[in-house]
Amino acid sequence: MKKSAITAAVLGLSLMLAAAPAFAATDAAPASHTIKEGDTFWKLSQQYKVNFEQLVKANEKLDPQNLTIGSKVVISTSAEKKESKPSAKSDASASRKTVQAQSVTASNGTVHAFSDKLQVKATAYSAAASENGKWGAVDYFGNPLKVGTIAVDPNLIPLGTKVYVTGYSHDGLPSGGMIATASDMGGAIKGNRIDIFVPGSSTQASTFGIQDVNVYILK
């Protein structure tokens, strides 16, 4: 009698589970996204609420400045990366930037606290269509280009980072140094290099040449 009752209970529970609908998380990001006109990694990170830097790293084979319509962008791996153990490179970068804080004094007397100092090669670009392609005179986030906008390699300087740049010489830029934001990227800007936006024509920007500058990562 007891065996029959248990069997009936198990059978009933199995039927209930089989009839229950399977719910999937509605807020989970899709596995991938098909690129359409106007898409950028930044827009996709906002649309799917995923970390921008992780999105770029998950799609290293794609050029962020030239996303081809119809190509696939990996989206869902960002959640897995949050749980993964940081690489030795990430640890080294973090420790480098947490070395005791220092400060640099601007020509106007303002003191800027920084956590890291980089010596990089700098070039300049203008708002000319020939230099900005289909994106127009805006940075990667869609903001108008202005003095203080610099293009970087996000693997060296994360997008959105505030910096203080010194060592350059150009009439269209503040003398002595300037506060800038790493808010743009460029296909040729790789590694230890930045591209500084300057007002004026592309011809005027070309007079900047290639200069050695100091970039202070501000706290």
Instruction: Give burial (CB, 10 Å; 0-12/13-18/19+) of 165.
Output: buried
The boundaries of the domain holding residue 178 are: 93-218
List the pLDDT tens digit at each of the 219 positions of the chain: 444 444 444 444 444 444 444 333 335 678 889 999 888 888 888 888 888 878 888 888 887 777 888 889 998 754 444 444 444 343 434 334 444 558 888 878 888 899 999 999 999 999 998 888 777 899 999 999 999 999 999 999 999 999 999 999 999 999 999 999 999 998 889 999 999 999 999 999 999 999 999 999 998
15 with 64, same domain? yes
Amino acid letter for position 200: G
Neighbours of 61 (CB within 10 A): 7
pTM score of the predicted model: 0.63
Helix, strand, coil in percent for the chain, rounding step 5:
30, 25, 45
3 state SS of 78: helix
Domain boundary among 57, 83, 109: 83
Residue 88 domain-assigned (yes or no): no
Here the CATH number for the domain that contains residue 33 is: 3.10.350.10
139 neighbors 149 (Cβ within 8 angstroms) = yes
60 neighbors 41 (Cβ within 8 angstroms) = no
